[in-house]
Amino acid sequence: MGLDRQVQAASSNPVILDGQALALWRGEDGPVRVWEDRCPHRGMRLSFGFVRGDTLRCIYHGWAYRTDGQCVEIPAHPDLAPPKTICANSYPAESRYGIVWTNLSGAGSAALPDFGADEGWEPVRSIYVDRPASVVREALHSFDFGDVSEVRMNGGSAALVRVRSGLEILFAVQPVSDGKTALHAVAKGQGVAGRRADLARRLERLRATIERA
């Protein structure tokens, strides 16, 4: 879905996953929420809205939704308790390895990969590639990230590249549409802070290589 650091406190951000428009937002309590990018009132994009405390307000008529999606305030009717049926459509979300993960299938918790300990991962960057996710996944197996010792896939959503120097690079693969894919990269290992600029440049070359093919 994106790098956790990209979702600032008190902000709402638009994201597209598998063609579905979503709003990522963070309240004062800290966790990132993933909602359908649509206000139940008039269909306005909630990613255009604004965060106050732990509520997300639609920019159109100011309807306020708390973190579980329930509408808690309708400014035009301040004395009205909003019906329980007025609720934003939400999806499970969790931050792991510095990346936000979700599950749109309605099958419960967020679809989390398991690549060991959550600590020590540093954000590198996100890129968008004008190619299908299947093409991007295949390219991760052959691109020059250095002296690669292993590439591990976790379903279709994540890939871990291990370099013999001890560096690990984790990619979250986000299908945006049939012909567009986002890659969100984090890394850990000795000296990772000094290698982030080089890794970011390699990601740019990765994008160029894929799009030229």
How far apart, in whole angstroms, are the C-alpha atoms of residue 91 and residue 102? 7
Alpha carbons 88 and 80: distance in angstroms, whole number:
18
197 domain residue, yes or no: yes
User: What CATH number did the domain enclosing 181 receive?
Assistant: 3.30.530.20
* Half-sphere exposure (Cβ direction) of 84: Cα atoms closer than 13 Å: 0
- For residue 146, what are the domain limits? 122-212
Instruction: Supply the pTM of this predicted model.
Output: 0.92
The CATH code of the domain that includes 38 is: 2.102.10.10
Which segments of 44-142 are extended strands (E)?
50-52, 55-57, 64-66, 71-73, 90-91, 93-96, 99-102, 122-129
Residue 78 sits in the same domain as residue 16 = yes
Provide φ and ψ at 72, rounded to 5°.
Answer: -120, -10
pLDDT (tens digit per residue) in 147-201: 777 888 888 899 999 987 889 999 999 999 999 999 999 999 988 988 899 999 9
Say yes or no: 6 and 56 in one domain: yes
In the sheet with 64-66, reading across from the earlier edge strand, the strands are: 50-52, 55-57, 64-66, 71-73
Q: How crowded is the C-beta side of 202, counted as CA atoms within 13 Å?
A: 17
In a domain, 111, yes or no: no
DSSP for 6-44 reads: GS-TTEEEEEEETTEEEEEEE-TT--EEEEES--TTT--
**pLDDT reported for residue 191:** 86
- The rounded distance, in Å, linking the Cα atoms of 180 and 207 is 11
- Judge if 9 and 96 occupy the same domain: yes
Looking at the structure, tell me whether residues 191 and 155 fall in a common domain.
yes
Asked if residue 75 belongs to a domain, the reply is yes
Please tell me what DSSP assigns to residue 4: G
The reply to whether 81 and 152 lie within a common domain is: no
What's the distance, CA 54 to chain centroid? 20
Average pLDDT, the chain: 93
Same domain, 51 and 139: no
Q: How many structural domains is the chain composed of?
A: 2
Q: Which of 60-69, 91-100, 151-160 has the lowest mean pLDDT?
A: 151-160
Please report the pLDDT score of residue 75 as a whole number. Answer: 98
Amino acid 107: pLDDT: 66
pLDDT for residue 202: 92
Q: Which two tokens stand for residue 94?
A: 């969790």
